[in-house]
């Protein structure tokens, strides 16, 4: 059965998405970068199913979207650099890699880093807040195809594997976020994305050649 598509602003959309996520279903959501596939963060079966749908092994860091910066302390052991970056670039298209908080999310391997971001997409915040401030979300990308930047593109890839697609229009950036690994003493770029790396080094007062 093909997924239901609802405008994210429709009155029933958020409540329906929360119900499905808590039941262990997958929901496609819009963000400021690309569309993502969301699973309830404390449901290992749903997370495993998400990776089956994407036809790939789990990512090297567990990906989460956060309702606000304060949620970072719930999920990760954030250092001073990460807090500085979060205050400057969030909400926005910068993903930070950090060690996991030892007391959070038994559904996620505690030895695996976490990848955290607060999206700059206000219509998504009611869903993030309703689910507890933290949502497991991986990009709506499959089989070498470009990432989905509209609900229609997401539906073409995953409509038969998810329960609901929330339509938020075109993703404003249209490219994935920049990923910055904050676990070493000197942060390093793991994926080039919507934020140019020069802006990150400039903010941190680092030169590109200082990367390791």
Mean pLDDT of the chain: 92
Q: Could you give the CA distance from residue 77 to residue 68 in angstroms, rounded to a whole number? A: 16
Quick one: pLDDT band at residue 179, thresholds 50, 70, 90?
Answer: very high
CB of 146 closer than 8 Å to CB of 61: no
Task: Compute the distance between CA of residue 203 and CA of residue 109 in angstroms, rounded to an integer.
Answer: 32
For residue 143, give the nearest of 157, 132, 129 by alpha carbon.
157
Tell me which architecture the domain covering 4-210 has in CATH.
Alpha-Beta Complex (3.90)
How confident is residue 135, by pLDDT bands cut at 50, 70 and 90? very high
* Cis, peptide link before residue 52, omega less than 30° from 0: no
Q: Express each pLDDT in 61-89 by its tens digit.
A: 999 999 999 999 999 999 999 999 999 99
Residues 93-124: tens digit of each pLDDT:
999 999 999 887 655 656 689 999 999 999 99
The predicted pLDDT at position 150 comes to 98
Please compute Rg for the chain using Cα positions: 16
Per-residue confidence at 50, pLDDT binned at 50, 70, 90? Answer: very high
| 162 pLDDT higher than 70 | yes
Mean pLDDT of 40-66: 89
**Higher pLDDT residue, 185 or 59?**
185
Distances (CA, A) of 91 to 16, 66, 67, 146: 25, 9, 9, 24
Q: What is the pLDDT of residue 148?
A: 97
């Amino acid at each position: 059965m093909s997924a239901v598509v609802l405008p994210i602003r429709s009155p029933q959309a958020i409540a329906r998405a929360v119900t499905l996520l808590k039941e262990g279903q997958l929901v496609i959501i819009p963000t400021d970068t690309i569309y993502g596939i969301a699973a309830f963060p404390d449901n290992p079966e749903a997370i495993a199913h998400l990776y089956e749908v994407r036809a790939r092994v789990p990512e090297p860091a567990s990906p989460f979207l956060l309702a606000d910066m304060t949620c970072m302390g719930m999920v990760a052991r954030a250092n001073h650099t990460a807090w500085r970056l979060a205050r400057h670039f969030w909400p926005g298209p910068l993903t930070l890699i950090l060690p996991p908080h030892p007391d959070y999310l038994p559904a996620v391997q505690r030895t695996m880093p976490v990848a955290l971001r607060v999206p700059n997409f206000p219509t998504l915040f009611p869903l993030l807040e309703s689910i507890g401030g933290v949502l497991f979300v991986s990009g709506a990308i499959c089989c070498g195809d470009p990432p989905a930047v509209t609900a229609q593109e997401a539906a073409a890839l995953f409509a038969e594997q998810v329960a609901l697609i929330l339509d938020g229009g075109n993703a404003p950036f249209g490219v994935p976020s920049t990923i910055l690994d904050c676990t070493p003493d000197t942060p390093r770029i793991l994926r080039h994305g919507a934020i140019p790396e020069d802006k990150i080094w400039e903010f941190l007062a680092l030169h590109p050649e200082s990367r390791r």
